[in-house]
Amino acid sequence: MDKYIFDNNNGLWYELIGDYYIPCLTLPTEEEKPIGIYGQRHLRYLKEYHRATYTNLLTSGKVNGYLAEIDEQAKDMFFRLVKEYADRQGVTEQLKADKPLEWVQKMNNIRSAVGEVINMELIYA
């Protein structure tokens, strides 16, 4: 028996493993992009709650690009919202110089609030 055979009906190669021919299936290659914390959180969310979407992205070879895009959007949104919230609440460099502990308190509050917005709008939506 041949180790590999090609089926003209479906265009697949088969490999002999034991007594059975198993199709030689591989995932499409995709460009590896770095995925940050937001992309990893979204990946975990997709795996747990949206398995069909995750499987479709995985089998089409688009999961890495999709997660990198989500991560980039989340980072951009984070920096933009932190700046907007700080401007609205009057958190300035002058406050940082005059009252550093108050500045840290307000900035931590802003970062926490912005993190919640990003989680609700992008990561777990």
Write the DSSP string, 49-77.
H-HHHHHHHHHHT-HHHHHHHHHHHHHHH
DSSP 3: S
Q: Residues 27-39: what's their mean pLDDT?
A: 85
Q: How far apart are CA 45 and CA 25, in angstroms?
A: 27
pLDDT of residue 1: 75
Give yes or no for residue 28 having a pLDDT over 80: no
Which tens digit of pLDDT belongs to each residue from 35-83?
999 999 999 999 999 999 999 999 888 999 999 999 999 999 999 999 9
Taking the mean position of all CA atoms in its chain, how far away is CA 55? Answer: 14
Q: Identify how many contiguous H helices and E strands the chain contains and give both numbers.
A: 5, 3
Q: How far apart are CA 43 and CA 57, in angstroms?
A: 11
Which tens digit of pLDDT belongs to each residue from 79-117?
999 999 999 999 999 999 999 999 999 999 999 999 999
pLDDT of residue 59: 86
pTM (2 d.p.): 0.76
Give yes or no for residue 30 having a pLDDT over 80: no
Task: Spell out the domain ranges in the chain.
Answer: 1-30, 31-123
Q: Residues 6-32: what's their mean pLDDT?
A: 86
Give yes or no for residue 27 having a pLDDT over 80: no
